């Protein structure tokens, strides 16, 4: 019989996240599901998160929910308007019935939004060519910034009224808030650009708007980059300063990640396979399909998979802040989970391991498994824009 370590006991003991208590320290991180065509959650999305909750995970996270129409990247994303309150309430109730909490990730795609999904030109901190949408973004003016901050606050209010327990702001991966933080994309000369303090101003205004909307008792997480992994982008030293600013600004916890979805580093956050052929198949429009098939390997960098691939940089954040931290990135085994807890992280976040097996958390807890058998091929990523996220390898095994 395997010895139970102190880290393992802590991993599966109840834990506080702000004002709420989770049954353990395992979180399903926000991985885009692609199950909300037309902007509202469907039955498949409800079942996806219910199964993860039933499998022992303490909290599951709805991914990439757009706070406004102009922030959409796909027409299968949740759009946070009044129509979603009732279906979100049903989804939250299904997760709660299995003993888990539910979080919602709120974001805006900024300068790489898709005109096909939004019906309008993309906008961002600076003027920039949007390779994903094949368009040039316009510069956000003061009125745009005020409206976007209000949209984040309004969306958070809708989520909390629907029974969602935790709000997560997406300030990583090259989405709008990340675009403001990053010197790679923010070349403004006004009070929202230039110095690191100025580049943090808009994300902190959004955090303040959300905190004002949901009150002090609702946990508000911020997902942020440790590094953009692009030339001239946010690097770890500035990420440390950003983490301290989010802590001072009222964040309950930070979720640590990295990479830029609109750059060659789009798979930096995942590591493993580069399924360009499968990704091309699910792209809207013939031009995108052809381009990704022909040139995808040139535009998408390959990063070998290894366990705990964000650990080294994340430890520098751990030393700099006192608020709870969520470690993700290669947390796919009992050993990795224990190492993360031993290193001082409060929660671990899993993605592909739970897409592969929604019972993974309980299987680790009971000793039925020691590690996920996910091979990190990343073909599930392609399905996020297609029929909805799922483990394609399981389909291969059970045709």
Question: Hey, which residues are catalytic here?
Answer: 175
Distances (CA, A) of 125 to 138, 184, 212, 363, 376: 8, 11, 24, 45, 34
226 and 258 Cβ atoms separated by less than 8 Å: yes
Q: Which residue has the tokens 């947390």?
A: 331
The answer to whether the beta carbons of residues 77 and 32 sit under 8 Å apart is: yes
Contacts of 154 (CB under 8 A, 6+ apart): 67, 80, 213
Task: Give the pair of three-digit tokens for residue 138.
Answer: 């316009």
Q: Which helix (H) or strand (E) holds 92?
A: helix 85-97
Do residues 52 and 44 lie in contact, with contact meaning Cβ atoms separated by under 8 Å?
no
Give the containing element (helix H, strand E) for 210.
helix 196-214
Measured CA to CA in angstroms, residue 293 lies from 16, 164, 184, 284 at distances of: 46, 39, 27, 13
d(CA 166, CA 218): 6
Backbone phi and psi for residue 133, each to the nearest 5 degrees, phi listed first:
-95, 0
Count of alpha carbons within 13 angstroms of residue 228, beta-carbon side: 25
Q: Give how far Cα 107 sits from Cα of 66, 224, 377, Å.
A: 5, 12, 26
* C-alpha span between 381 and 367 (Å, rounded): 29
CA 338 and chain centroid, separation: 23
């Amino acid at each position: 019989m395997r010895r139970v370590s102190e880290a393992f006991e802590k991993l599966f003991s109840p834990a506080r996240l702000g004002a709420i208590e989770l049954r353990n320290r395992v979180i399903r991180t926000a991985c885009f599901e692609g199950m909300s065509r037309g902007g509202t959650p469907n039955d498949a999305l409800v079942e996806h998160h219910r199964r993860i909750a039933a499998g022992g995970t303490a909290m599951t996270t709805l991914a990439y929910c757009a706070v406004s129409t102009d922030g959409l990247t796909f027409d299968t994303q949740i759009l946070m308007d009044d129509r979603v309150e009732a279906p979100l309430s049903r989804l939250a109730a299904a997760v709660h019935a299995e003993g888990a909490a539910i979080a919602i990730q709120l974001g805006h795609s900024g300068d790489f939004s898709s005109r096909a999904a939004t019906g309008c030109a993309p906008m961002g901190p600076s003027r920039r060519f949007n390779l994903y949408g094949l368009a040039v973004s316009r510069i956000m003016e003061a009125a745009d910034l005020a409206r976007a901050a209000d949209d984040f606050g309004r969306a958070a209010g809708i989520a909390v009224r629907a029974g969602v327990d935790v709000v997560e702001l997406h300030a990583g991966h090259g989405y709008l808030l990340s675009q403001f933080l990053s010197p790679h994309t923010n070349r403004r000369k006004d009070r929202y650009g230039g110095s690191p303090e100025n580049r943090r101003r808009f994300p902190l205004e959004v955090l303040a708007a959300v905190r004002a909307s949901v009150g002090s008792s609702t946990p508000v997480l911020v997902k942020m980059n440790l590094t953009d992994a692009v030339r001239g982008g946010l690097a770890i030293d500035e990420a440390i300063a950003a983490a301290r600013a989010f802590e001072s600004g009222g964040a309950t916890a930070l979720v640590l990640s990295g990479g830029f979805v609109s750059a060659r580093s789009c798979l930096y956050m995942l590591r493993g396979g580069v399924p360009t052929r499968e990704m091309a198949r699910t792209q809207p429009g013939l031009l995108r399909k052809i381009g990704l098939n022909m040139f995808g390997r040139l535009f998408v960098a390959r990063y070998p998979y290894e366990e705990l691939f964000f650990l080294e940089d994340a430890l520098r954040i751990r030393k700099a802040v006192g608020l709870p931290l969520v470690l993700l990135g290669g947390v796919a085994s009992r050993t990795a989970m224990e190492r993360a807890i031993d290193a001082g992280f409060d929660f671990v976040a899993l993605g592909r391991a739970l897409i592969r097996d929604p019972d993974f958390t309980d299987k680790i807890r009971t000793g039925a498994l020691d590690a996920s058998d996910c091979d990190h091929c990343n073909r599930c990523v392609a399905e996020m824009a297609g029929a909805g996220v799922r483990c394609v390898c399981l389909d291969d095994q059970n045709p």
